[in-house]
Structure 1
Amino acid sequence: MSPSPPLITTAERRNRLGRRHRLAPSARAGTVAEAADSVVALHATDAATVFLSARARLTEGGPEAVERALYEDVGVVRLLSMRNTLFAVSAELAPYVDASTARGIALKERRTFLKHLDEDGQGLDAAWLERAETSALAVLDAQGPLTGSQLSAAVPDLRQKITIGRGKKYETHTGVATRVIRLLAADGRIRRDRPRGSWTSSQFRWVHTAPWPAVPAAEARAEIARRWLHAYGPATEADLAWWTGWTRTDVRKAVAAAGAEEVRLEGGGPALVAPGDTAPEPAPEPWAALLPALDPAGMGWADRGFHLDPAHRPALFDYAGNIGPTVWWNGEIVGGWAQRPDGEIVWRLLADYGRAAEEAVAAEASALAAWVGDTRITPRFRTPLERELVA
């Protein structure tokens, strides 16, 4: 009879999260790239999330340290990737994210756009698109970095308009500039540079860049799966499929190639960890964190039962399943926070977690307020508790 897979308790899963996501003070990262690698990728749909997620995981440094990593050192880059969503990943990992996920998205986006051009009937086709892209890159070489509107003004082809769904209820008239820029970014031929405005702005400037080195897709998926299992394991194939947007077939092949090992969950069924990653995880020192909307610690699993009381979910998620700003205590989501118009950081615990938790959260809120300074943060995806705290 074969031995039962090792058991990993809920407490150990929370301990892993504190250390591996670099949220416990003793586990903090020295660089933004290390912080991103610790969770594989930082959500970047909301510009502020990258900064606030990095801040929660760094030993030191203000917003300027994150800006330097993104726009000067370029040790961290934004890619349209998992679940067709924008993420920030380290430059070292970017070729694997590109090959495992972004390539397929780019190809699909290009097919869809060419179909829209053909249906529009103005004679715009693949040759026109190639000319528009070549012109845009030449302008960026000569004048960049440029915002999308500046690039459109400088490239006549980008000022074209097309009709999508002609004659149908959803018929829309739209410019092509945003779509062409999106294609160039998805192909890795341009990247987002410093935005106009503060670090919370999404009005990025663009620069011409070289595509990422080619990596075989299966090899890339195995590497992403291995890193994801280290950061988020124990977890299930369903969790990885949700996080990546890969097919179940690709997920199964990836975890097999990564050498994943099976474990048992406390009060649940089987799950997977990275190879050899079955030893008990001792508790780190007590820790509190105020994490932003869409932070990886809240969005890393399809099943979040080990760190989120289901009764708290309605207050902390929007209608589409996006998590808002959260308060954490020792690996568990215990409340939410918001920033009021006057800059005050306000928070609420959703149950009584004791005086130590309240004092630690208060100290973390004070540190966050000092880090943010005069900047004002409004999450792109508003949740019931965040709205209530602001009001």
Structure 2
Amino acid sequence: MRRLTADERRLLGMRVRAQLLAEPAACVADAVERMLSMQAQDWFGSLWAVAQRADASAADVEAAQARGEIVRSWPMRGTLHWTRAEDIRWLALLTADRIDRRDAGRMRQLELDDGALARSRSVVEATLADGPASRQTLLDALVAAGQPVHAQRGPHILGHLARHAHVVMVSRTDYALHDVWVTEPRALDGDEALAEVARRYLVSHGPATIHDLAWWTGLTIADARRGVDAVRGELAAFAVDGVEHLHASGLEPAEGVHLIAPFDELVLGYRDREVTLRGEPLDRIVPGSNGMFLPAIVVDGAVSGTWRRTARAAGIEVETDAWVPIPGRREPALRRAVRAYGAAHGATATLV
């Protein structure tokens, strides 16, 4: 692992604070609102990612979803995220057309043209007319209506309906109609939406670059720059190796040891992960480059190893694989992080 410069250490420490890992939000809904959107394809990992940013439990996150405060959907990059309910519509529609163009070839292979998608939407809306229904119920209804769901056809149908704000996920497996479940959606589009996504990304993830924003959202560099230019006066900046990084004014770095979830925003929230990984290759956290990110040990914002949990009758055992020895002075902080993980899951967790 390479030695970080003073500016790089400051950048990582500032991200720890911006991402609520040093000072959690007051509640789950506030945490998700602050983060704007958080990776959520790994269900259990995503519950922990939100919970630790709100000093809450995994059950609290599920309860916030059940109350309609947060939803799970595909607002960006064709990937599941947590989002405040009122934000999902404008955020999803901001990049929906770009994802449609990106996936056009695959949709043709699956014979999902405009007609097939319109028919599928009618089936799904009819099935959800009386209230939420499970993913399997929706897939069964599509098959019964003559719309095959094999070869990933079903997930592509549901993903398309979600990113065009027709449906949202309201539990681990259940869907609901967007316009029924989200009663007060924000109405943003065009330059106003670009400014909003730039402002909230850079406040919650900064210091970050325009290229980080473009990657995170799936926007073009030109659109990301338009959004940033609209809010630049609200932000502060400093350069790392000559590259401008933008962030909230008054943001100070924080220290700490954290056990972050797989796909956590501290890693996935940026295009450039060189500093976060301290020069280590990505496959140390994504073995075999299979797209599956491991949960990570983070020391002062830098990934220093990975960890895994094992459920036992007496509680949870946490085993770490540190790439470099954790300094003795950080051992108490590591044990506190382990205990916090256990508390969020209603169990006693111990470091083994």
- Unaligned 5+ segments in structure 2 are 1-5
Is the contact between residue 123 and residue 145 of structure 2 (CA under 8 Å) also seen in structure 1? no
1:192-250 C-alpha deviation (Å, 9 max, x unpaired)? 1223xxxxxxxx12222318554223321221111112223332222222222211221
Residue by residue, what CA displacement relative to the aligned partner does 1:283-337 show, whole Å, maximum 9, x if unpaired? Answer: 54x4221101110011122223443311374422331565321112222222221
Instruction: Determine if contact 2:297/2:305 at 8 Å carries over to the other structure.
Output: yes
| Cα distance, 1:95–1:126 mapped onto 2, change above 3 Å | closer
How far residue 179 of structure 1 moved from its aligned partner, in angstroms, is 3.4
- What code does the residue aligned with 2:124 have? A
1:160-179 equivalences under 5 Å are 160-161=147-148, 174=151, 176-179=153-156
Q: Is the 8 A contact 2:77 2:99 kept in 1?
A: no
**C-alpha separation in 1, matches of 2:274 and 2:111:** 45
Q: Which aligned pairs between 1:9-158 and structure 2 lie closer than 5 A?
A: 9-24=7-22, 27-59=23-55, 61-72=56-67, 74-102=68-96, 104-105=98-99, 113=107, 116-117=110-111, 126-127=114-115, 129-142=117-130, 144-155=131-142, 158=145
Unaligned runs of 5+ in 1: 1-7, 119-124, 163-172, 196-203, 376-388
Q: Give the corresponding residue for 1:352.
A: 325
What TM-score do the two structures reach when normalised by structure 1?
0.75
Task: Tell me if structure 1 keeps the 8 A contact 2:132–2:174.
Answer: yes
2:8–2:275 contact (8 Å) kept in structure 1: yes
Whether contact under 8 Å (1:99, 1:217) holds in the other structure is no
Structure 1 residues 278 and 207: CA distance shift in structure 2, 3 A: closer
Amino acid at match of 1:339: R
TM-fit CA distance, 1:357: 1.0
Tell me the equivalent position of 2:265: 296
Cα offset for 1:253? 1.6
Distance 1:69 1:110, change over 3 A: farther
Q: TM-score, normalised by structure 2?
A: 0.82
* Paired residue type of 1:133: R
Give the distance between the partners of 2:145 and 2:99, measured in 1 at CA: 22
Residue in structure 2 matched with residue 170 of structure 1 by the alignment: none
CA gap of 1:102–1:358, structure 2 versus 1, over 3 A, is farther
* Residue equivalent to 2:3: none
Correspondence 1:272-291 to 2 at 5 A: 272-274=245-247, 277=248, 279=250, 281-284=251-254, 286-291=255-260
In the superposition, relative to structure 1, how do residues 110 and 18 fare at CA in structure 2: closer, same or farther (>3 Å)?
A: same
Please give the alpha-carbon distance, in whole angstroms, between the structure 2 residues aligned to 1:213 and 1:188.
Answer: 12
The aligned amino acid for 1:150 is T
> How far did residue 156 of structure 1 move?
5.4
Whole-angstrom distance in 1 between the partners of 2:19 and 2:144: 45
> Highest Rg: 1 or 2?
1
1:159–1:205 Cα change, 3 Å: farther
Q: Does 1:222 align with 2:195?
A: yes
Q: How many residues align?
A: 337
1:365 is the counterpart of 2:325: no
Distance, in Å, in 2 between the alignment partners of 1:175 and 1:322 is 19
- Measure how far apart 1:282 and its partner are: 4.0
SS, match of residue 310 in structure 1? coil
3-state DSSP of counterpart to 1:229: helix
- Distance in 2 (CA, whole Å) between partners of 1:46 and 1:194 is 13
**Distance in 2 separating the partners of 1:229 and 1:149:** 38
Contact 1:43-1:296 at 8 Å conserved across structures: yes
Kindly, what percent of the aligned residue pairs are identical?
A: 25
2:215 corresponding residue in structure 1: 242
From the superposition, tell whether residues 355 and 374 of structure 1 become closer, same or farther in structure 2 (CA, over 3 Å).
closer
Q: Which amino acid aligns with 1:29?
A: A
Q: Check the 8 A contact 1:290/1:364 in 2, yes or no.
A: yes
Q: Distance in 2 between matches of 1:231 and 1:156?
A: 42
Q: Is the contact made by 1:20 and 1:38 (CA closer than 8 Å) also made in structure 2?
A: no
Structure 1 counterpart of 2:178, from 203, 209, 221? 209
Aligned-CA RMSD value: 3.2
Change in 2 beyond 3 A, CA 1:236/1:108: closer
Distance in 2 between residues matched to 1:350 and 1:134, nearest whole Å:
52
- CA distance change for structure 1 residues 214 and 132 in 2, over 3 Å: closer, same or farther? same
1-structure distance, mates of 2:96, 2:245:
25
Residue 265 of structure 1: which of 239, 253, 272 is its match? 239
Instruction: Kindly indicate whether the alpha-carbon contact (under 8 Å) linking 1:287 and 1:360 is maintained by their aligned counterparts in 2.
Output: yes
SS at match of 1:88: strand
The yes-or-no answer on 1:340 pairing with 2:313 is no
| Change in 2 beyond 3 A, CA 1:313/1:103 | closer
